Amino acid sequence: MHIPIESASALGKVVRASRRAQKIRQDDAAGSIGVSENFLGKIERGNNSVQWGKLFQVLEGLGVRVIVDVPDSVATYLTAPSSGPGEP
């Protein structure tokens, strides 16, 4: 299922729903993923200031994949070799 994510709050709802669907308590999920229960709670509440690395650790731990839908014009820049500083 594809769910548009337009805010930290929307992503938090996905994380909470993923955890609940697996019938895992928040403290157990946090422990098995390797983050604090406080951190997992911040994600689930949609806190805007979480660490990216840990966020992706939580998503992976709950089996949530992140796919970014970009326009073709952006995709071209993602596959082209980088020209370095000052590049367009």
Let me know: does 56 contact 66? Beta carbons within 8 Å: yes
Q: Residue 45 sits in a domain of what CATH number?
A: 1.10.260.40
Number of structural domains found in the chain: 1
Would you say residue 43 lies in a domain? yes
Q: Is residue 69 situated within a structural domain?
A: yes
With a CB cutoff of 8 Å and minimum separation 6, the contacts of 42 are: 50
Contact 16, 44 (CB under 8 A): yes
Question: Both tokens of residue 42?
Answer: 């911040």
- Tell me if 86 is assigned to some domain: no
Q: Is the residue at 68 inside a domain?
A: yes
pLDDT in single tens digits along all 88 residues of the chain: 888 999 999 999 999 999 999 999 999 999 999 999 999 999 999 999 999 999 999 999 999 999 999 899 998 898 877 666 666 6
Rounded to two decimals, the pTM is 0.83
SS3 71: coil
Whether residue 2 lies inside any domain: the answer is no
